[in-house]
Amino acid sequence: MVRRCCGRWSPWRGGRDFEELGTRLRHARKVRKLRLKDVARFVNCSESLLSKIECNKLAPSLHMLHRIAAVLNLLPLEFVQDWGWRIPFLLGVVVGGVGFLLRRRLSIDPPPARSGFPLAEAVHHHWTAIVQGVAISLINAIPFYISFVYILPWLRKYADLSARNAGIINSANMLIIVMVIPAAAWLSDRVGRKPVLVAAATGLTLLAWPLFAVMEIGEIWAVFVGQFGIALLIGIYAAVSPIALSELFPRGVRCSAVSITHNLSAGLAGGTAPMVAEWLISRTGYSLAPAVYVTLAAALSLVAALSLRSGYSALAAEAVSIEPAIARA
């Protein structure tokens, strides 16, 4: 069964053969009470590979290959082989051009009159703000990676949802985040950064576990509603957190301080989030353990957001201080 599935797999089926195989393998092991090690020995296959197939961890990646192949299939084969494969990379030039135009239209920003190594100065003089910034960024790391990356195999394994439906729901809610961000940014310009951050972090702290529990029901509507609630809260928070980080640091060390703050959070916390979530489930046997991890991360971000100084902005303070210099220039 395994060899037949692997032998006839095609990117045009988007991994549906592996999805069907995972379902059949789980059913056979449950009915016949077989150990995964025995099945792997019988079919002469890696036990880790069978585990991934059974948990449907291969199907999401194969579905992505299916989408890429479908786009390339619209073009003549010779065209794709010659230089059509470069098209996705060329589109990156458009992104760079948009960034260049945006930067050209920014107001005057004279360089700080300081010397030395900004990163060392940031760590030495602003380490408390860096710790605060890492905590603020946790929601953009742990809850995001668990709720929109690790969630795909989690839904297949614990909610018994097909990879196709999980991918569609996940993509739809990612689009909702994109639409929520401008609205939340507009609101923060009127009520302030801190109230928006605190509201979103409080909501995620209180609702992460219930929303994951709703998703575990496994019905399409339940999965969408549960992830929609998380997407709404993360979108609101993500709209404000970048500018909140920038406002923590003076201009002389801002780029260095924000970069190390963001990368510590995204790399150490976000990058390891799926691994930690899987480890928590394996250690506790509790399928909603990732929701507890999300709750703890959101609670830390909430504490950091509450510690922000209301009405204070390093950016606004510097704007006032440099206005006379700009006027004289």
CATH of the domain at 180: 1.20.1250.20
In a shared domain, residues 136 and 54: no
CA–CA distance, 192 with 131 (Å, rounded to integer): 22
Q: Other C-beta atoms within 10 Å of 192: how many? A: 16
Across the range 177-194, mean pLDDT stands at 92
pTM of the model as a whole: 0.67
More confidently predicted of 62 and 100: 100
Domain count, the chain: 2
> In the prediction, which pLDDT does 31 show?
63
121 alpha carbon, distance to own chain's centre: 30
* Tokens 């050209």, located at residue: 104
Helical pair 220-246 and 127-145, crossing angle rounded to 10 deg: 160
Do 62 and 207 belong to one domain? Answer: no
Same domain, 242 and 143: yes
Q: Is residue 184 part of a domain?
A: yes
If phi > 0 it is left, if psi is from -120 to 50 it is alpha, else beta; for residue 220 that is: alpha
One-letter amino acid at 22 equals: G
What share of the chain has pLDDT > 70, as a percent?
65
Q: Which of 275, 51, 233 is nearest to 146 (CA)?
A: 275
Tokens of 221: 């509507």
pLDDT tens readout for residues 265-300: 988 999 899 999 999 999 999 999 999 999 999 999
Is residue 103 a part of any domain in this protein? no
User: Taking 50 as the threshold, does the pLDDT of residue 323 lie above it?
Assistant: no
As to burial, measured by CB atoms within 10 angstroms (0-12 exposed, 13-18 middle, 19+ buried), residue 252 is buried
Whether 94 is in a domain gets the answer no
224 neighbors 172 (Cβ within 8 angstroms): yes
Say how many C-beta atoms besides its own lie within 10 A of residue 143's C-beta.
28
Instruction: Please indicate, yes or no, if residue 199 is contained in any of the structural domains.
Output: yes
54 and 168 share one domain: no
User: What gap in Å lies between CA 175 and CA 314, rounded to an integer?
Assistant: 32
Q: Are residues 65 and 123 in the same domain?
A: no
User: 239 and 149: one domain?
Assistant: yes
Do residue 270 and residue 127 come from a single domain?
Answer: yes
Closest CA to 301 of 255, 249, 254, 236: 236
Residues 279, 170 share a domain = yes
Q: 162 and 251 in one domain? A: yes
CA distance 2 to 45: 8
What's the pLDDT tens digit per position in 213-227?
999 999 999 999 999
Is residue 158 domain-shared with residue 212, that is, in the same domain?
A: yes
What is the C-alpha separation between 283 and 292, in angstroms, rounded?
A: 14
One domain for residues 262 and 142: yes
Distances in Å between the alpha carbon of 272 and those of 80, 141, 145, 264, 293?
A: 36, 9, 9, 11, 12
* The pLDDT of residue 8: 40
**pLDDT tens for residues 252-262?**
888 888 989 98
Q: Does residue 85 lie within any of the structural domains?
A: no
Q: Does residue 152 contact residue 167 with C-beta atoms inside 8 Å? A: yes
Q: Specify whether the CB–CB gap between 173 and 220 falls below 8 A.
A: no
**Which has more pLDDT, 269 or 309?**
269
In which domain, by residue range, is 154 found?
Answer: 116-321
The reply to whether 84 falls in a domain is: no
Q: Which of 72, 101, 130 is the last residue of a domain?
A: 72
pLDDT of residue 50: 57
- Radius of gyration of the chain measured on its C-alpha atoms: 24
Residue 77 has pLDDT above 90, yes or no: no
Sign, CA dihedral 179-182-186-189, equals positive
The answer to whether residues 161 and 298 belong to one domain is: yes
Instruction: Tell which wins on pLDDT, 236 or 35.
Output: 236
Residue 131 in domain: yes
* 315 contacts 252 by C-beta, under 8 angstroms: no
Domain boundary residue, one of 16, 47, 72 = 72
Q: Is residue 177 part of a domain?
A: yes
Of residues 26 and 242, more confidence is placed in 242
Q: What value does the mean pLDDT of the chain take?
A: 78
